[in-house]
Amino acid sequence: MMSVFKYEKDADGIVTITMDMTGPVNAMNAEFRDAMGATVDRLEAEQGLSGVVFASAKKVFFAGGDLKELLAFKKGEEANFMGMLDTMKSFFRKLEKLPVPVVSAINGAALGGGYELCLATNYRLAWNDKSVQIGLPEVTLGLLPGGGGVVRLVNLLGLQAALPYLLEGKKVTPEAALKAGMIDEVVDSLEQLLPRAKAYILANKGNQDAAIQPWDKKDFRIPGGNASSPKLAQVLMGAPAMLAQKTRGLLPAPEQILDCAIEAARLDFEAAQRIETRGLTYLVGTPEAKNLITTFFFQMNKVNSGASRPKDVAPQLTKKVGVLGAGMMGQGIAYVSAMAGIEVILKDISVEAAEKGKAYSEKLLDKAMARGRMSPEKKAQVLGLIKPTADNADLQGCDLIIEAVFENIALKNKITSSTEQYLCEGGIWGSNTSTLPITQLAEAASKPENFIGVHFFSPVDKMPLVELICGEKTSDIALAKAFDYARQIKKTPIVVNDSLGFFTSRTFGTYFDEGARMVVEGVAPIKVDNLGKAIGMPVGPLTVHDEVSQELSRKAMETWAEMGVTDKWGEQDALREVVDFLVVQNGRGGRHHNGGYFDYRDGNKTLWAGVVEKFYKADVCMPDQDIKDRLLFRQVIETLKCLQTNVLRTVADGNIGSIMGIGAPIWTGGFLQFVNTYGLERFQTRCGELAAQYGERFACPEIVAQKIAAGETFV
């Protein structure tokens, strides 16, 4: 079993352990526990030992816990799980109690369990390269670092300094880790790593101090004081409240981590380790952890590795992109494309408008320079790639043109037919529409097979998702090209089939539609808005409608009427009533159009009295749980309908798309994963209750009954 850990002792008495486990990465699984146990026993018995170096034969130093193992955990297995954690912790404890210095030679990412291993060594040495990431990101998967990570990091850095790494799962470069005190030294090249590790051991021969962990020294004090020191006592008073404000009580992991970290600053080392073990054992059994691991790890990898990309099409590199329309979306698309080294032609009606669009990139680059994240050379290089123009001929030779003009079908069609000829041979046309059917837009193209929807989210430089929409005639090559372009600009692409509003806009629309319905029914508007946040949406439904703008809704409804598709996905009477009242009768088109539901003055947001006067009914008493379920279930039901009608091609696309594009509450793991942990039968029953009370739109989609009958979940 020792074969996955190569054990070599040199003439100086230094043992180098090179971890080379089965599979692409080193991970904390049964194989690791066996190898680690045997290795530690052998090291304890080793004669003439002067030091130990832990190294990796993989590109990644160590990848952390085995998530398949964690996902398989079931209630009732707590004792076994705790035993397994205790065993692993005992190996780390034996390692750090060896009478010689132990060095970790970090050649690649050391995240989660990988960094916990490093923490159990006396000296942490890393290659100073941006591919090397260091940190404890367990919280992002609904877990906590259960291999001693919480306890050791608090002991190493002090409670206050350790909390951001534990609660936010911050991953840092070797330079930042060195500055923070998470590692001890960096080397500039990979070749220097092992020689430097050995040199450190030889330089500390006979130095007892180098072989003892700080927390095992007699006079050890936690940096910044322990939990009862006056300065920390103040921090601890406010910490739970600040955390609750961030998680809204919906994510158990940060709360558990905070508890464990405080105990680590209060109790002795061994007692704190036991609290940490209990904390992870509790979290592994929570639905939130199952949701986050399923979606953010397994499904995210599936999406990014191209599960939805046509398999037999060679990689498609985009070299020159044309962006039509230098407004908010166009300028963002130009920026992310130039940042990826793609030549950009940014075209608008006038050169001034196009220049203004380019100025947006300059502003973002200046910000990055001010933060020390960008050199003047790189700034000049990026700006040099963007050419602002008003001349169609400049688009000659683009292998991709993305149209980002207003949501008006006639305008979009006119632009397509007048500029499509400038595409290079085999070039493709992308429409950044958020709602208009691609099949219909493609009718204006001479080659509809080269036409695809490329839906960005605003602001483009920050939002990680791109929704690719295939029309009836979109070819595999066009899809592959758009997919590869999205990866080239470092975005996560989901692939959906055509429909009015596709997946994200259509589902997102149900959120503020349901909010509007409750306002029209007489529920207090503030309550509706606050309960949207209480389910974990980034903002309430009324606030979000103000942001997107009621004016945009009015225009979209007008366009849909012209296209003859009004109420195609269910009636929107309440929404029309609200939009008419706000926009048409009162000239309130949203936050940036004179206010909407809310007034926005001097940075303050207050509910506009007109909404209350018009709609609020004091005698309407709706249970909070019903309001919360209406806001969440509407979106989940729409997502299920998209899956049922093949607008969504995969469950992974639905989950990733709902979180990254719609702002689905993180704890759900996405709108389809939510149904799995809520329970399919229970979901069906709750839909029935809501439909009986509030309307047919809550009827449970047929696909749920099909899954129940087949004994399946949404995977």
Contact yes or no for 253/144 (Cβ under 8 A): yes
How far is it, in rounded angstroms, from Cα 561 to Cα 506? 16
Give the sign of the dihedral formed by CA 452, CA 458, CA 459, CA 463. Answer: negative
- Find the length of the chain: 715
Q: Which amino acid is at 165?
A: Y
Bond from prior residue into 459 cis (ω within 30 degrees of 0)? yes
Angle at 93 between CA 87 and CA 95, to 5 degrees: 110
φ/ψ of residue 24, rounded to 5: -70, -25
How far is it, in rounded angstroms, from Cα 35 to Cα 18? 11
Tokens encoding 635: 């979106």
Angle between helices 328-339 and 376-384 (to 10 degrees): 120
Instruction: Identify the CA nearest to 105 among candidates 9, 184, 213.
Output: 184
Angle between helices 159-167 and 252-264 (to 10 degrees): 160
Q: What is the DSSP string of 186-228?
A: EESSGGGHHHHHHHHHHHTTT-GGGGS-GGGSTT---TT--TT
- Of the candidates 455, 545, 592, 593, the residue annotated as catalytic is 455
Exposure class string for 291-311: b at 16+ Cβ within 10 A, else e: bbbbbbbebbebbeebebbee
For 264, residues 6+ apart whose C-beta sits below 8 A from its C-beta are 150, 151, 154, 155, 159, 272, 275, 276
Pairing of strands 423-431, 343-347: unpaired
Contact yes or no for 11/22 (Cβ under 8 A): no
Decide if 592 is catalytic.
Answer: no
Query: What 3-state DSSP class applies to 620?
Result: coil
- What's the burial of 679, exposed, middle or buried (CB within 10 Å: 0-12/13-18/19+)? middle
How far is it, in rounded angstroms, from Cα 267 to Cα 404? 58
Tokens encoding 662: 């719609």
Q: Which residues are catalytic?
A: 455
